[in-house]
Structure 1
Amino acid sequence: MADVQEPTHRSGCPINLAVEVMGDRWSLVVLRDMMFGNRHYFRELLTGSQEGIASNILADRLRRLVAHGLLWRVDDQTHRQKIRYSLTEAGVQLVPVMAALGSWGRRHMPASHELSVRAELLEQGGPELWDRFMDELREQHLGIPRPPGTPSVFAELQAAYEAAIAETG
């Protein structure tokens, strides 16, 4: 087996290191779709995103996110050619980053109302909501049960999104 070589980094700056992993055009969109769209499979990620990622780019980003420890993959028992992708703990811990990016984009860019509603809820809910959402993601992606009786943040975000879609007709 060949030795796996550590990637070379431009510097040890934490912002630079994060940008080297997630700073391309598609990585954050893939992570967003896994977190907020509950997508785990290549086909779901390919067809479920409004941004229209190309299949070769998606395959590359999934490989890179796995290599950098933000996702893990496992063969799906229902189909031998199907692979299920899930967030790792490092991926789950990106919730506050995604909340901050969504908040900034909602405030400073021409974001649509229906696509902003989840960002607004995450902003209003703050760290307490983010922690509950991360617990829910840990349950979905890592099999770690969340505290009993904890309401679903995913369901709350999805309901707000669907209500916003219904408003716009």
Structure 2
Amino acid sequence: MNEVLEVNEEPFLYTMSLINGKWKMHILFWLSKRDIFRYGELKKLIKNITHKMLSTQLKELERDNLIIRTEYHQVPPKVEYSLSELGLSLMPVLNAIFTWRYDNLPQQK
């Protein structure tokens, strides 16, 4: 007989909703490497991401308070992205995922 466990899955589902998406963890990874990035710098670093997808993912990360978007009203326009305090607090979790991946890479033949 299988015992049904009472588990509050809400914290897990919430966390996963914040980093869900093909590119969000990649964006957060790069933002963790330096204090500030401009849009064009991120676009160059993240190969194969389209402008539309990068823009969408950045907006979602900002909406979820994981990143800070700073817009400077000048010509030409200047926008910078950085990790928020909440985003910084998520980095140990993402670093654990990255470490797990490297610890479990299949052996090269």
Superposition TM-score tier, normalisation by shorter sequence: 0.7 to 0.9
| Corresponding residue number in structure 1 for 2:84 | 88
Q: Which runs of 5+ in 1 are unaligned?
A: 1-10, 113-169
RMSD: 2.4
The count of aligned residue pairs is: 101
Q: 2:28 — aligned with what?
A: 31
Alpha-carbon distance in 1 for matches of 2:82, 2:69: 6
CA displacement, residues 60-86 of structure 1 (integer Å, 9 cap, x when unaligned): 000000000001111136644221111
Unaligned runs of 5+ in 2: 1-7
Greater helix content? 1
2:4 equivalent in structure 1: none
Cα deviation, residue 54, structure 1: 1.1
The structure whose residues are more often strand, as a share, is 2
Of the candidates 60, 81, 96, which is equivalent to residue 100 of structure 1?
Answer: 96
SS in 1 for 2:33: helix
- TM-score w.r.t. the length of structure 1 is 0.53
1:43 maps to which of 33, 37, 40: 40
Aligned residues of 1:66 and 1:72 also touching (Cα < 8 A): yes
Report the 3-state secondary structure (helix = DSSP H, G, I; strand = E; otherwise coil) of the residue aligned with 1:66: helix
Deviates more, 1:56-65 or 1:96-105: 96-105
**Larger relative contact order (C-alpha < 8 A, sep ≥ 6)?**
2
Deviation at 1:52, TM superposition (A): 2.2
| Residues 13/46 of structure 1: CA separation in 2 closer, same or farther (3 Å cut) | same
- The 8 Å contact of residues 68 and 84 in structure 2, kept in 1 or not, is answered as yes
Identical pairs, percent: 23
- 1:6-17 maps to which residues of 2 (within 5 A)? 13-17=10-14
CA distance change for structure 1 residues 70 and 44 in 2, over 3 Å: closer, same or farther? same
**Pair 97,46 (structure 1): closer, same or farther in 2 beyond 3 Å:** same
